[in-house]
Structure 1
Amino acid sequence: MTTEEIAALIQENIKDCELEVNTKLPQHEIVVPADKIEEVCQFLKTDKTTFFDTLSCLTGLDNGPAKKSMEVLYHLYSIPNGYRLTLKVVLDREDPKLPSVTSVWKAANWHEREAWDLVGMKFENHPDLRRILSADDWIGHPLQKDYKEQDTYHGITVKYEKD
């Protein structure tokens, strides 16, 4: 199936789901509204035509203060069909929240925790949204474009100046 055919199938089966298909990149993507991502993912996993049984990767990106947006990319794979698909959700940088897809794929648990920890996306209804790489009391999200690292952490120098 092509990306366009998958997008058409989604729109036929999910009410009020406006999609944007981008085929200009080497890996085509479907842009999904944040409030529809869980429903779209559930459909793509359970529909016999697509059966995207694997969430290969979930990536959080900060586009920076100038663009005022963040993105979450979902790389899906259908083992029986051999299909690959990328879904993208664009978020407001000031309030980057969207539904969790842990109810669809258990693998989303750690991927979403990493995106929360490093970039700052809030995955609503996540069963255990806490830091996964940084310390629990770390300040900020290190992969945000305007991140300012702490000078010290529990008395240990974090930021070193070049001589």
Structure 2
Amino acid sequence: MRIDELKQKIEGELRDLKAEIEARDPNVVNIRASRDDVIEIARRLSSIGFDHVKAVTAVDRGDIFEVDYIISSYLGDLSYYLVNLKISLPRDDPRAPSLVEIWPSVLYQEHEEHEMMGIYFEGHPRMGRKLLLPENYEGIPPLRKEFKIKTEGIDYGG
């Protein structure tokens, strides 16, 4: 299967949903979607053979958060390809449905993005527990732009 054939297959699967789809590089298909459609898109990608998520990342763009799911497959031709599923979340409402029921491989990755970026994944079984930060940590999520490292009392040797 070639990248353009995969893009067409994905377009056919998602034709009734609002999603921007583009083929990039020799093996990457980008899908930009709304958080309202992400569960259905994930279900359909899973049904055509994309069986796991390699990574979940989030970026604080200042006015929005962007969440990227890097999706792949262990199966035949699909194992060569990556699907980058992107959703944007408003800064004042950084929540998205969890994809853990579709792809269990997101369990720790969504948990990490919740803890480090403050994105709430609805339906995720571990949102209330700490993963990387100390149990008593109560500050701003440390990967947000507004997070400031305390420098008072630090001698930089200058």
TM more than 0.5: yes
Partner in structure 1 of residue 136 of structure 2: 137
Matched residue count: 148
Q: Does 1:42 align with 2:43?
A: yes
Note the 1:2-151 alignment, pairs <5 A: 2=4, 4-12=7-15, 15=16, 17-23=17-23, 27-46=28-47, 50-64=48-62, 68-80=63-75, 81-82=78-79, 83-129=81-127, 130-138=129-137, 139-149=139-149
1:161–1:89 distance in 2 versus 1, CA, 3 Å? farther
> So what's the TM-score if we normalise by structure 2?
0.82
Give the direction of change, closer, same or farther, for the CA distance of 1:134–1:88 in structure 2 (3 Å limit): same
CA 1:89–1:144 in 2, change beyond 3 Å: closer, same or farther?
same
Pair 1:42–1:7, CA change in 2 (3 A) = same
Is the contact made by 2:65 and 2:91 (CA closer than 8 Å) also made in structure 1? Answer: yes
Tell me how far apart the structure 2 counterparts of residues 24 and 56 of structure 1 sit (CA, whole Å).
18
CA shift for structure 1 position 61: 1.1
* 1:116 and 1:131 in contact (8 A); partners too: no
Q: CA RMSD in A?
A: 2.3
Using the size of structure 1 for normalisation, the TM-score is 0.79
Which AA in structure 2 matches 1:160? Answer: I
**Deviation beyond 3 Å, 4+ runs, structure 1:** 1-4, 22-28
Describe the SS at the equivalent of 1:29: strand
Deviation at 1:118, TM superposition (A): 0.7
Please give the alpha-carbon distance, in whole angstroms, between the structure 2 residues aligned to 1:59 and 1:89.
11
State the one-letter code of the partner of 2:125.
Answer: P
Distance 2:110 2:143 in 1: 14
Listed as ranges, the gaps of 5+ residues in structure 2 are none
